[in-house]
Amino acid sequence: MADCIFCKIASGEVNARIVYEDPETLAFLDLNPQAPTHVLIIPRRHIGSLTAAAEADAGLLGRLQLAAARTAKQLGVEGAFRLVTNNGKGAGQSVDHLHYHLLAGRKLLWPPG
């Protein structure tokens, strides 16, 4: 998607602090961190949101979660982290490219606000 900031990060056109990558997924530091560790995990291919994912994306969705777990281990936060996606504007989604937030390094309240 030409005007998608996360597609531009995935293609290397826009810089980001990448902490994990494989052929299908990418993890990079959030520009506006909400916790000491705040990483975004995205598919390289554009999918607008979780509800935009198709049956054929099932494998990719699983690999995104494995990428998140690997990233958590790499950053030493595998014992306590939260993985969350905001789906839709009403839930706080501001970038229309599927992404999971990996948050760690502080007390994480439940329920989230």
DSSP state string for 21-61: E-SSEEEEE-SS-SSSEEEEEEESS---SGGG--GGGHHHH
What's the min distance (Å) between Cβ of 45 and ligand DGP?
17
Q: Does residue 36 interact with ligand DGP by CB under 6 A? A: no
Question: Based on CB atoms, which residue is closest to ligand DGP, 2 or 56?
Answer: 2
**Residue 87, interface with ligand DGP (CB under 6 A)?**
no
Amino acid at 76: G
* 16 makes contact with ligand DGP (CB under 6 A): yes
How many whole angstroms separate alpha carbon 50 and alpha carbon 62? Answer: 12
Does the footprint of ligand DGP cover residue 28 (CB under 6 A)? yes
State residue 23 phi and psi, 5-degree precision. -60, -25
93 is a contact residue toward ligand DGP (CB under 6 A): yes
Q: From the candidates 38, 46, 99, 101, give the one annotated as an active-site residue.
A: 99
Q: Is 99 among the catalytic positions?
A: yes
Distance of CA 79 to the CA centre of its chain: 18
Active site residues: 99
Please report, as ranges, the residues that interact with ligand DGP according to CB under 6 A. Answer: 5, 16, 28-32, 40, 86, 92-95
